[in-house]
Amino acid sequence: MALGKIGKIPAKLSYKTQSPRPSQRQPAVTPSQLLVKKVYDLIDDLKSSDVAKDLELPEMVVCGDQSAGKSSFLHSLTGIPFPVSDKACTRFATILRMRSADVAAPVYSAQIMPSFDTTDEDEIGRLRKYTPVLHDLSQVGAVTAEAAKHMQVEGTGFSPHTLVINVAARGSMNLTLVDLPGIFNSPTAKQTVEDLERVKQITRAHITRKRTIIVYIRAMIVEDANANLRKEIVECDPGGKRTFCVLTKPDLFKPLQSPSIAKDFERQLNEQVPWATHIVMNRNLTTLDTSGDVRLADELNCLEVEPWASVDDGHKGIDTLSPRLCKMFEEHVFQLLPDIADDLTRKNETLRAELARMPPPPQAITTRTLFAAHPEFERLVRSAGRGDHYDRFFDNGGNQLRFQIRDRVSQLMRALNTRAVPTTEHLDPKIAKQYGIPEREGVADHVLRDRITEKLGKATIPTVHFEQEAAELLDKLVKPWDEHTKSAISGIASEGVAFAGAAFTGAVQKKGAGQSVLTLGATVATTLSDMISHRLENLLEPRRRERDKKTTFPEATGFLTKANLIESIRLSAETAATDRQNSVQSSDALCLRSLLDSLADIQLPSRSTAAAIIMCVDACYQQHVDKLSVDLGETEVSRLVEECLLDTLSLSNIASTPQDQLFDVDDAGLPAMSEERARCQGRIAKLEDFQRKLADIRREVHPNKRPATPEEDEDGERRKRGRLEDWPLLS
């Protein structure tokens, strides 16, 4: 597109040159402005993504030699107060994204866009964290200085990274500008020869692109021979079709002293050769804080004298330059959209070809596969619940769910039956039954024994009431139950979750759907675990309530009755001289001797009373254990877990749950998906997303137009690759 041949600027594209204040009444955003904003935002998002590295996207860059008035020009054009001084130096590129938006108050934001050449992930992460909050445009100078610190070019050096400033406001222009560092003439202590080459490299990287509009800021007081950037532009754009020249500082130029140069400038402005050209008067250091109206008046006075008075009004002044640039960039972008769509399609094809050459990923598990495998999964679950382990799937002991549950319950029972260090030997079953003593070691907890014997040692007679002491002893025995049962329930739930993944893996493999190893996704695993835990807790709730009730023991006479019986047995054992094996009492006394001996530090008959209390408490505790053992029967718990597995992984849940939540595919035994493949797939997904958005924009522009067939389209093959046609040049 030849930038010099721009027709009359429509009134509806006349943008204000200053960012609107919230108090100003601004016109509503028009549909055409919304469409332009949507397209520009799409280009910006594409440029910020990693897929843009090899794509050439339209842009408008502002460049010039150092001190050509570039910063003050941008200030006048956009209303953004960039740092302006004789010694100011921009050490990185800045993207200005200005959008017309239907907002109550202007919205400002900023961030750093790392260079595509930066591979250090830590560096990229550090730069992207810089997202300052801007309340008004007066903070831009501080944000620019802080960005230089983050890019580590404060005072010296030039950065390849880019600062992005976003402005959204009613009445704002729709325009994206890239402000490049100025090219300086002579190296200094802070601007070395290496810095000069870096700036030229940054500038050349932008202006050599065939889809870049070059806005060349040319100070009229600098001769062509000293304009370093002019030579670069002529080399990159020999026909001048992509270059737009802005002449600055006319107030400092002396036409009478250089009449030939003044004549050349006048011809360039009137004939728009060799480039499309515009003349503006910059703000200087003494007029930076003047209002827009004052600046426009000063500019008008400057440009209404010869030789500028004869220049077309459309080619001079900042108020006409703003819509001229907006219109130019708008036409440029919309004309290139079909080519951008083509580029995205070709890039997608290239990436897909590259993806096809990579090792295949682990085989995916689809919903159809899971549906086909579900009957086999249900059969394995029911077999595991019954303990029928004839299938080869159960050759792996870890898949024998019922046995795993039985082991967990057994561990719980052992934990509840073992209170502490044993204090008695095994008792004869007949004696144990007669006196209610459990057939195991650990009849009495040694801590409890020490506590009760201490109490009894202080008693003068064995007729003291011990109901409360017995209740306290029982409460202390059952207190650890919650911790033990919670651990057992958690273990059973984890066994159920592990079995679910293994059973579905076995079912999928049996159906010949691949060798991938399935594990439950975090969401479904949590749901299944919570369901098993909740149902087991409900199963044990009645026992917990019964256990928490205060136990009513017999009155003291009941303890004394048993104590007297124990004492008589003990005395008879001491007095019997012969044939103790034929005496039931002697045999009983021998069996109880270890318990009584453990209480030997208590005077008679108190130790017999202590033994009676301990035996009563222990018998009550054992009743609780026996009832819990019945509730947690192997069959009952297996049935409960089986129901949870089938409910959580029902066909309806498989159909309604997203695949990424239902199962994770393990890479065991399969070629692992490489980072390179993952990146390639990610870039393809982004490209296709951008292609869909472009297609949506086309449908918005032409809602009733059907796609042309290859026979109707002279360039059908090009359309097949995704080219968009008939884009309007919004005028």
Is 70 within 8 Å of 64 (Cβ atoms)? yes
- 129 against 587, higher pLDDT: 129
**Would the pLDDT of 692 be above 60?**
yes
Residue 214's DSSP bridge partners are 61, 243
User: What's the pLDDT tens digit per position in 517-570?
Assistant: 566 777 888 888 999 999 998 888 887 777 777 666 654 445 555 555 655 555
**Would the pLDDT of 164 be above 70?**
yes
User: What's the pLDDT tens digit per position in 31-64?
Assistant: 888 889 999 999 999 988 888 777 889 999 999 8
Confidence (pLDDT) at 122? 86
397 conformational bin, left if phi > 0, alpha if psi -120 to 50, beta if neither: alpha
The DSSP letter of residue 183 is B
Confidence (pLDDT) at 730? 33
Residue with tokens 């008075």: 309
Q: What is the mean pLDDT of residues 14-38?
A: 60
**Would the pLDDT of 709 be above 70?**
no
- 465 against 68, higher pLDDT: 68
Which pLDDT band, with edges at 50, 70 and 90, does 425 fall under? Answer: very low
Which pLDDT band, with edges at 50, 70 and 90, does 280 fall under? Answer: very high
Query: What values do phi and psi take at 167, rounded to 5?
Result: -130, 125
Strand-strand pairing, 243-248 and 162-169:
unpaired
The pTM of this model reads: 0.57
Average pLDDT for the chain: 75
The DSSP letter of residue 230 is H
Confidence (pLDDT) at 591? 40
**Would the pLDDT of 620 be above 60?**
yes
> Given strand 212-219, what is the order of strands in its sheet?
133-134, 107-113, 162-169, 93-100, 175-179, 59-64, 212-219, 243-248, 276-279
Bond preceding residue 274 cis, omega within 30 of 0: yes
CA dist 462 and 562 (Å) reads 12
What would you report as the CA-atom Rg of the chain, rounded to the nearest whole angstrom? 44
**Would the pLDDT of 424 be above 50?**
no
Range with lowest mean pLDDT among 85-94, 244-253, 256-265: 85-94
DSSP letters along 494-527, please? Answer: HHHHHHHHHHHHHHHHHTTS--PEEEE-HHHHHH
> Tokens in use for 167?
């402005």
**Would the pLDDT of 149 be above 80?**
yes
User: What's the pLDDT tens digit per position in 366-423?
Assistant: 677 778 888 888 888 988 888 887 787 887 777 888 888 888 888 888 877 765 333 3
Nearest to 526 by CA among 534, 536, 537: 534
**Would the pLDDT of 256 be above 60?**
yes
C-alpha distances in Å from residue 680, one per residue of 51, 120, 672: 10, 19, 15
Confidence (pLDDT) at 185? 73
Q: Give the best-scoring range by mean pLDDT among 228-237, 321-330, 360-369.
A: 321-330
**Would the pLDDT of 718 be above 90?**
no
Confidence (pLDDT) at 602? 45
Q: Report the Cα–Cα distance between both ends of the chain, in Å, rounded.
A: 16
* CATH 3.30.9.80, applies to 58-90+185-316: no
